[in-house]
Amino acid sequence: MPPRKSNKPKTSVPTMKGIIDGAGEVVQQKIATTIEENYMPYAMSVILSRAIPEIDGFKPSHRKLLYTMYKMGLLSGSRTKSANIVGQTMRLNPHGDSAIYDTMVRLSRGYEALLHPYVDSKGNFGKFYSRDMAWAASRYTEAKLDVICNELFRDIDKDTVDFVDNYDNTMKEPTLLPATYPSVLVNANTGIAVGMASSICSFNLKEICDTTIALIKDSKHNISETLPAPDFSGGGQIVYDKKTFDDIYETGKGSFKMRSRYSYDKTANCIDITDIPQSTTGEAIIEKIIDLVKTGKLKEISDVRDETGLDGLKLTIDLKRGTDPDKLMLKLYKMTPLEDSYSCNFNILVGGVPKVMGIREILQEWIAFRTECVRRRTVFELNKKKDKLHLLKGLQAILTDIDKAIKIIRETQEENEVIPNLMIGFGIDEIQAEYVAEIKLRHLNREYILKRTEEIQALEKDIAELESIVADNRKIRKIIIKELTEVGKKYGQPRKSMLIYADEIKYAEDTEEEIPDYPVNIFFTREGYFKKITPQSLRMSGEQKLKEGDSIRFSAETTNSAELLFFTDKAQVYKAKLNDFKETKASVFGDYVPAKLSMDDDERALFVVLTKDYKGTMLFAFENGKVAKIPLSAYETKTNRKKLTGAYSDKSPLADIVCIENDCEIVVTSNSGRVLLFHTGMLTEKSSRTTIGVNVLTLKKNQRLVKAEIYVDGRFTRPDRYRTKNIPAMGMTLSASDKAEQLSLL
């Protein structure tokens, strides 16, 4: 029965089957309609009103918080409880107190995430470089606006930006803040919206101001001359590559590497990490180092601890005797987040539209925005002065004949006729007449008259200057340059992040630890157990201990520097270094390979290949009679990958695996007892690991290939009986003598 439609149009809740209306009835609706009516408005809200910053450098949550603090008088007053600020912000930002307080924490001086914090904080505000250091509750901390916020709110009351109603239409809030410097690039800002994200790194304030000034003067200015690289509050080292940063500056996208800064304490034989990349935390670094020590990949470290205190971040690494601290740090840079990448995605809302821009375009958009702010401020001041001049012109007309004005007022019978009579008597408008009528009697003296007359002249001069500014963009840009120069001098500070040039730094590849090389014997069983035994231990041992029903499939003599490839029944190969396996004895089962290498559930190791140079050839014999010939080099990778999928074809069940150094003769056997001896030179080698192979053994119905092995001289009395010059071939059944020989071997 089709679902009955509800007659009551109520709010709907999306489900897997349809829409549940307010009456609890399911109403079918197309998914495209549901997305358009429910999901798209949400997505647009996240993009425009939550996650992406605008050209003033702020997201709505930041702007609402700072404007609330400004209206509370916290720009110049004393600090107040954070809880008070959070409560007041709710009038503009309809969120819970926790979300608003989290926003304030991240803007605070105490949190240390911003180069130029906007909130002057007192109390425990946590630290950006610590994941576990929680900030105190809002009732315990205090805050006010930092002094640099003077530049954010300068002239905000002079119509520099638009104001809109808040969510309940009880008060107004600015759509943007009229910042006098490009704050969008001075403090780091990240956000994840729906289908897009933004990640803006921070730059040095003085360098940004100088770059903006240079662009105003010359739109073709080479940005890298005045803005070499980003700058972060946490310091650290930026791996500088000019091409990388030129691409980021041009496209607004890309990534660069950052390194931690450290010092070596010779007395205590320890390394002190004082600066870390902006994208990680001290806890993450320590956890990674501990994990590497436990797995034996870092043997030079005896202890690592967090000694962060009032002096700032400090991670201490105690070294074992004889360890070279510089070589160890190169290894740590490679293996831990002490070196990390910072991804840039300069996605900014411009006119309500998200746009990914390079540095030049961002600064040009900011210059256009700031030009409009200065023009609006100038127009506002111009109108104020014109209004005042208009009043003074009316006053001037009255002051030319004060006696006449007094006479008009005295002879007027009713109060409401005073204004019309003054308008008629002196030819002034109502606004001027109101202003004149309110003048106190004590001001009707010569001094007052002279001062007002002089003020008219000054106003006329100011109005002419303001009108010339409004009409000339060059004058507006001179004002912007002057303001940027002042901001750079007043708030500028030296770079915190050092630059190290990419072509001069060392990498851990140059200092990789040498694997100790010594003779070993290896054993691999059919059940998947693996043993590495030294020759001395093997000589002193008795029989190999195996599980009941298990047997040794592969054994060899090699050295500890060899590599192992374990092929499994899921057409996968797991790569490992022999050094990763601990030495053991014959009297133990050994390492269970699926568990050791974290194989998939129910996955079994079938075969192991031993190699040092990836020379040789793999033969995969399938039950359908085909054999694939693949060079061992096909499994060699430039990166240290542990697992390769598609190790061989899965089109037919695998019967056997053989590894050969050079072409030789191979014996294949079917379940019917037929045997075929052929030379591997007949097979075409394929570079693709998933090749289905060449048909070797011709099979009848219900027959299958079951075994493949290297032919050993003397195995057959008459090998030519089974040898073939052409493939595929059916093979021959074993002769009586070969059967007897096989039985004697068993």
Catalytic residues: 140
- CA 298, CA 290: separation in Å to the nearest integer? 9
Q: Please give the structure tokens belonging to residue 575.
A: 């790569």
**Which amino acid is it at 225?**
E
A 10 A CB-CB count for 179 gives 25
- CA 309, CA 50: separation in Å to the nearest integer? 34
- Do the Cβ atoms of 696 and 708 come closer than 8 Å? no
- CA 191, CA 334: separation in Å to the nearest integer? 28
Spell out the residues 6+ positions from residue 413 whose beta carbon is closer than 8 angstroms to its own.
none
Strand partners, 54: 349
Q: Please give the backbone phi and psi of residue 717, each rounded to the nearest 5 degrees, phi first.
A: -65, -45
Work out whether the CA dihedral 81, 82, 87, 93 comes out positive or negative: positive
Cis amide leading into 728 (omega within 30): yes
Express the helix, strand and coil content of the chain in percent, nearest 5 each. Answer: 35, 25, 40
Spell out the residues 6+ positions from residue 476 whose beta carbon is closer than 8 angstroms to its own.
371, 374, 375, 378, 469
Q: How many helices (H) and strands (E) does the chain have?
A: 21, 36
- Do the Cβ atoms of 273 and 338 come closer than 8 Å? yes
Q: Is 308 exposed, middle or buried (0-12, 13-18, 19+ CB in 10 A)?
A: middle
Q: Please give the structure tokens belonging to residue 166.
A: 């808040």
Work out whether the CA dihedral 69, 71, 76, 80 comes out positive or negative: negative
Spell out the residues 6+ positions from residue 156 whose beta carbon is closer than 8 angstroms to its own.
70, 174, 177, 178
Q: Please give the backbone phi and psi of residue 344, each rounded to the nearest 5 degrees, phi first.
A: -110, 135
- CA 706, CA 674: separation in Å to the nearest integer? 10
Q: How is residue 352 annotated by DSSP?
A: T
**Which amino acid is it at 46?**
V
Q: At what angle do helices 282-294 and 325-335 cross, to 10 degrees?
A: 100
- CA 643, CA 654: separation in Å to the nearest integer? 19
Rg from Cα positions in the chain? 41
Spell out the residues 6+ positions from residue 736 whose beta carbon is closer than 8 angstroms to its own.
none
A 10 A CB-CB count for 337 gives 21
- Do the Cβ atoms of 652 and 668 come closer than 8 Å? no
Please report, to the nearest 10 degrees, the dihedral formed by the alpha carbons of residues 492, 50, 200, 259 taken in order: 100
- CA 691, CA 652: separation in Å to the nearest integer? 11
- H-only helix segments in 343-502: 359-399, 402-411, 418-426, 430-437, 446-471, 473-491
Q: Please give the backbone phi and psi of residue 492, each rounded to the nearest 5 degrees, phi first.
A: -65, 150
Distances from the Cα of 390 to the Cαs of 432, 442, 462, in angstroms? 7, 22, 14
